[in-house]
Amino acid sequence: MLLAIRDLTKYDEFLQVRDVQQQVWGFAGGEGLYPPALNTAAENGGTVIGAFDGGKMIGFIYGFIGIHADRRLKLCSQTMGILPEYRNKGIAATLKWAQRQRVLENGIDLITWTYDPLEAPNARLNLHTLGGMARTYKRNIYGENFGALSKGLPSDRFLIEWWLNSEAVAERSKGLKPGPIGVGSPIANRCAGTSGDRKIETIDLNLDPPIVRVEIPNDLQAIKKANMALALDWRLKTRELFEAYFARGYEAVDFVRAGEVWGPERARYNWYVLRRSP
């Protein structure tokens, strides 16, 4: 693979972005980004960046200027997509770091975006690799039929805040790996079963230590294909957990993937690290 990352400026490139998005999300009814809007964003402080293997576009990231809750300017990173055969190669992180550079050059220090909190690979990228954090939970923001990837479940989302000059982000931008936090802390949802049929048995909304962990599935898409009722149970119970702990001042600050060794504790399953805000 000959990877190249560059800003997109031509209309035919914006058409390619739309094509990649439709392949990634499984859109079949004309949904997707509007190429003229991509052009406008690119010319007015937004970011439209493509990833190429030779001359083939294999991924993109798109964001536009917005206003945060505290009235500061930010970049709303609306959409990022990587073709399936090019995933797990570090391309998504490369696009995000390129986006950070562009935004800092414009004098802005915050990027926000949303993602499905039950998608473990995205959680790992957004929190652990990039150093983002989440403290806002949004219910069903796109309905229950948002493309093939999201079809069948309420489209709940975390709002990621990526504070570009924070210590966590600055360290990761230099390739420094974060140390373990939360080892041995309580898990708010007691789960049982193996990876494919693992389910939440009980939840605890009243834990009060500085750090709490919340487990999510290893592979949400596989569970959806095998047992949609189980996938919905994960959605509704973790929704209750995240909303409760965010309301009490906890923030999602890290994510551990199954199979990792994390200090003295081996992670057989995936969990979020929620830390109470000072």
Question: In this structure, are residues 183 and 262 in contact, taking their beta carbons and an 8 Å threshold?
Answer: yes
Q: Which residues in 51-75 are b (16+ Cβ under 10 Å) and which e?
A: bbbeeebbbbbbbbbbeeeeeeebb
- pLDDT surpasses 70 at 24: yes
Question: In this structure, are residues 258 and 269 in contact, taking their beta carbons and an 8 Å threshold?
Answer: yes
Instruction: Report the alpha-carbon distance of residue 271 to residue 18 in Å, rounded.
Output: 33
pLDDT in tens, 144-185: 876 666 678 999 999 999 999 999 999 999 998 887 788 889
pLDDT at 26: 83
pLDDT in tens, 215-248: 999 999 999 999 999 999 999 999 999 999 999 9
pLDDT at 78: 95
Domains for the chain: give ranges and CATH numbers.
Answer: 3-173 (3.40.630.30), 189-276 (no CATH)
**CA-based nearest residue to 231, from 177, 159, 151:** 151
pLDDT in tens, 66-107: 999 999 999 999 999 999 999 999 999 999 999 999 999 999
User: Average pLDDT for residues 244-271, to the nearest whole number?
Assistant: 85
Q: What is the pTM of this model?
A: 0.93
pLDDT in tens, 176-209: 888 778 888 999 999 999 878 999 999 999 999 9
- pLDDT surpasses 80 at 128: yes
Place of tokens 């957004």: 126
User: Average pLDDT for residues 104-127, to the nearest whole number?
Assistant: 96
Place of tokens 């293997």: 53
pLDDT at 147: 64
